[in-house]
Amino acid sequence: MFKTYDTLEQATHAQPRVTALLACQNNLMPASWHMPISKSPFRYAVAVREENYTHQLIQEHKSFTLNFLPFEHFETVNLMGKLHGDMDDKLAQSNLHVESEDRFKNVLLSASDFIYECEVCDTYKNGDHTIFIADVVKIHVNEKESQEPMLFSGRGKYATVGKTFISKKGV
């Protein structure tokens, strides 16, 4: 038996998605609507709502970093999703340490398991989000990479993976 809905707002189902902190300059925006779209060249797409300050920043700077933090930082990520960078100094409120910056002055966060440096090469507007397509020009992998990615299911619900299996058939 299924319950059927017409809109995403009505259907309160869990949609676990890996969540990252998108940094444009020193502003941090949690992002769960993102995906890889090309392997070589490595390209990535993120969907950003027009009313978010990050939208304006990406249009201006045409670049950002995607910081994939482990699950333990979910309260910080949730807080960053309640604030807006044109009103608040979100980096200061996050208490996250900055490892370095890319050549556009987008911050790289030390706590990340891995970080993608992204340079926007295309933009696609559809619905209420703009899809920024970016070349991933650098990939930074933390030698202390956790095995606990942050998953966001909507409505304040966070999780991480429970079990990992390696297929006998390999990849």
**Rounded CA separation 141/128 (Å):** 32
Interface with ligand FMN by CB under 6 A: which range of 60-68, 76-84, 97-105, 117-125? Answer: 76-84
User: According to CB under 6 A, which one of 45, 84, 114, 120 is a site residue for ligand FMN?
Assistant: 84
Q: Is 85 in the site for ligand FMN (CB under 6 A)?
A: yes
| 85 or 149: CB nearest ligand FMN | 85
**Rounded CA separation 93/71 (Å):** 18
> Is the distance from CB of 33 to CB of 15 less than 8 angstroms?
no
Q: Is 65 in the site for ligand FMN (CB under 6 A)?
A: no
User: According to CB under 6 A, which one of 25, 30, 64, 65 is a site residue for ligand FMN?
Assistant: 30
Q: Is 44 in the site for ligand FMN (CB under 6 A)?
A: no
> Is the distance from CB of 115 to CB of 140 less than 8 angstroms?
yes
Helices (H), the chain: 53-61, 74-80, 90-94
Tokens encoding 160: 């991480």
| 29 or 108: CB nearest ligand FMN | 29
| 79 or 137: CB nearest ligand FMN | 79
| 2 or 123: CB nearest ligand FMN | 123
User: According to CB under 6 A, which one of 16, 43, 44, 47 is a site residue for ligand FMN?
Assistant: 47
Instruction: Give 77's contacts (C-beta < 8 A, 6+ positions apart).
Output: 19, 21, 30, 69, 150, 152, 158
At 28 the three-state DSSP class reads: strand
Residues interacting with ligand FMN, by CB under 6 A? 19, 27, 29-33, 47-49, 52-54, 77-78, 81, 83-85, 129, 152
